[in-house]
Amino acid sequence: MLYKLFSNEIQNIAKTYLEASVNTIQSSSTDKILFSKLFIIKKVESSFLLLEKSEQQIIRNEFFYGSYAQWWKESHTKDSFFLLKRKAMSRFLGNYWREQ
């Protein structure tokens, strides 16, 4: 249950981040809206920096960049992947919600 909640939360963060990234580049919005988008971008990027490289890869491939299905099979067993994914999701969300 917690796994699904974490997964949904990161999917929402990824969607918001990608929308903010695209909209900021094309932005002619007010300073307040632009600041909000930049704040989200900074939170996500700062959260990534606090992860180990393997955790960054999992979060990016699973939630942000939509790698091909089961991209992880070459380097992980199913059990080890899901343990690493759970840890990566937990650390990413912890970093994200602590980031100011």
Query: Cβ distance 27 to 34 under 8 Å?
Result: yes
What are the pLDDT digits (tens) for 33-86?
A: 777 888 888 999 999 999 999 999 999 999 988 777 889 998 899 999 999 999
The domain of 23 spans 2-98
Tell me the pLDDT band of 24, cut-offs 50, 70 and 90.
low
pLDDT exceeds cutoff 70 at 29: no
Copy the structure tokens of residue 22: 């695209």
> Taking the CB of residue 89, how many other CB atoms lie within 10 A of it?
22
What pTM, to 2 d.p., does this model score? 0.80
Q: Report the alpha-carbon distance of residue 51 to residue 34 in Å, rounded.
A: 27
CB atoms within 10 A of CB 41: 16
Helix H or strand E segment including 3? helix 2-25
As a whole number of angstroms, the distance between CA 13 and CA 86 comes to 16
Total of domains in the chain: 1
The H or E element spanning position 13 is helix 2-25
